[in-house]
Structure formats: structure tokens, C-alpha cells
Structure 1
Amino acid sequence: MNATHTPITAEAVTRVQAHYENVKKLGHWTSDRRFEVRARRGMAVLDLRSPQIPDGDIDVEVDLDHAMVKLLVPQDAHIDHWDLRYTGRGRVKDWTGENGEGRRIRVTGEIRHGEIRVHRGGVATLSAMFSREFVQDVRRARREGTEPTVADPARSS
């Protein structure tokens, strides 16, 4: 067992389902560290950069069938996908491929003809900014006189 590994206790699990649809969870949308993602011919975007997510490992269990999951993570995140099973074509696309010394994100489960895309740092910010949710967040922040949180959740805390 790794010295930096934080055991997962009986915590709440956030479930995300994307069957034939696109689901985006951006900004400060959760404070959980365990996620279950089920997608069939759809796409799910999970923003895991929020400082409201407690310290420790993040577990993402996936069940993908002809689907894609995009993870928005900090630049120094460590993506562990050792326990991920593939049936047919499937892969984890991490353009930089650099696993940093930051928070560990463990991805488990099964991919059937799908993929997981990892966007880090500035690319994650741009990915969040090119969404309807960002425009809605900017309009809300302007009305309320606050800062937008979708582009960079860590900035507003």
C-alpha cells in the first residue's frame, strides 16, 4: 500500500448517468470523493478541480458503452487507471501523460468501445469555458456581484 494512499470510508457516492445525452457537471457541483458514472452512447464531463472536494483520493467508477467521459483535473493530478477493464476499443487519453505528485484520481470499472479524456490545468479551464454552463455562470455572477466559478473553481475560494 502506498504511503500517500488515503483509504476510502463509507462516504456518499455521486452518481452520474448519461444515456444518449451529454451531461456536464462543472464548477462547485459536489463535495463527494466517490463517483459512479454510467454512460451509453453519451458523454459526461466531471469537473474534479473544486476545493470543496475534501482532501484524499478520488474514486471514479465507470461503466461506459460507446461513450466518453471527460475529467477536468488540476495540473498536478495523478491518474491511476490500472484497474480499468476494456472490451473492444477503449482508451484513456491523457495528452500530457504526466502523473504529478498531487491528488490521486483512481479510475476503475469497464469501458466497452469508449474513452476517458483527461484535461489538465489550462486545457481544463478552456474546456469548461467553452460551454453553456460557463455563460450561465458568468451571467449569474454579474447579477449577484460575485465571481464566476465554472472556469476555475479554485480561484473563487
Structure 2
Amino acid sequence: MNTTLTTTPDPDPDATPTTRIQAHYNSIKKLGCWTEARRFEVRVRRGSVVLDLRSPHIEDGDIEIDVALDHSMVKILVPEDADVDHWDLRYTGRGRVKDWTGHNGEGRRVRITGELRHAEIRVHRGGIATLSAMFSREYVKDVRRAHKDGTFPTVDDPTRVA
């Protein structure tokens, strides 16, 4: 099993750093306030990745996600009013983007590019994103930490101050 998470600075010092996530035959969940980057490269082969993009720590501007998925699933947790643009995705075999709300808002733009090979991207917004985060081991750990510290959990709602 191979799992990698790296942040690499671009040669241009004014450019935002790119966070690379790689999962082969594995599952990765990045929930809560885990990054400040706006650019992501996601490579998954026969695995799954959950990306929480609801954090207020993510810099202002569009979020760009470049994917290369092979027999995999990527779940993206976004705010209710996010504008998800997947026009530039290439599909090989069966692949699709599942966005059950069916409408984009006027909020932050999330642009998804790359290629899907027998894979899918699931977009969870608002309350469904909260439930997706809550049904995880990371949430249980966060609740225990919050109880011990006398604070509030932040995995379910990253906009809440710890």
C-alpha cells in the first residue's frame, strides 16, 4: 500500500503551493482544517480519497483539483454555495461526477480537471458534507480531543473555532 501526502512549492514564489495526494489500494481522509493550499493533485488507483474543502484557513480564490483516478472514488466536501466546475474532466470507460443537489451556488469556485478511468467523484455539500465528516474515525478522535481539552470538535464544521 502506498500513501503519500506532500506539499510542494511552485518555482514561482508568488504561486500557491500544490498539495499532492496519492493513494494506491488505500483510503485517505483529509478532514477539518488540514491545509491552507488551493491547488491539489490527486492520484488514486483502486482506492478512495475524501477531501474536506470547507476550511476557512484555505486561501481566498478558486480551488483547483487535478485528478488522475483509476477504478477509484474521490469525495469532495464543499460548502452549500460552492460552484463546482468539472467541464475539463476526461472520461475513459465508466466515470461520472455525482452532485445530488444539481445546482451550483455563488460561493467559492472549485475547478476539477484531469482524467477518470472507471472512477467517480462525489460532491457533498452543506449538511451531507457534515454527515460525511461525522461518520469517520477522525471525527471520533476529534470529539475525544475536544472533550479532553474542553473545546468543540472541528471535523464536522471546520468554520467553528476550536
Shorter-chain TM-score bucket reads: over 0.9
For 1:33, which of 35, 38, 42 is the aligned residue?
38
For 1:125, which of 117, 125, 130 is the aligned residue?
130
Aligned length: 149
Q: How does 1:22-61 map to 2 (within 5 A)?
A: 22-61=27-66
Aligned residue type for 2:36? S
Cα distance between partner residues in 1 of 2:161 and 2:99: 27
For 1:19, which of 1, 24, 42 is the aligned residue?
24
1:116 maps onto 2:121 in alignment: yes
For 1:146, which of 136, 140, 151 is the aligned residue?
151
- Tell me how far 1:156 sits from its aligned partner: 2.1
SS at 1:89's partner residue? coil
SS at 1:72's partner residue? strand
Query: Could you give the per-residue CA deviations for residues 91-147 of structure 1, whole angstroms, max 9, x where no partner exists?
Result: 000000110000000000000000000000000000000000000000011111221
Q: Which runs of 5+ in 1 are unaligned?
A: 1-8
Question: RMSD across aligned C-alpha pairs, in angstroms?
Answer: 0.9
Detail structure 1 runs of 4+ shifted over 4 Å in the superposition: none
- Tell me how far 1:155 sits from its aligned partner: 2.0
Identity %: 72
Cα distance between partner residues in 2 of 1:155 and 1:67: 31
Equivalent position of 1:75 in the other structure: 80
Aligned residue type for 2:104? N
- Tell me how far 1:11 sits from its aligned partner: 1.3
SS at 1:125's partner residue? helix
> How does the TM-score come out when normalised to structure 2?
0.90
Cα distance between partner residues in 1 of 2:44 and 2:65: 13
Aligned residue type for 1:114? A
Equivalent position of 1:84 in the other structure: 89
Aligned residue type for 1:71? I
> How does the TM-score come out when normalised to structure 1?
0.93
- Tell me how far 1:18 sits from its aligned partner: 1.4
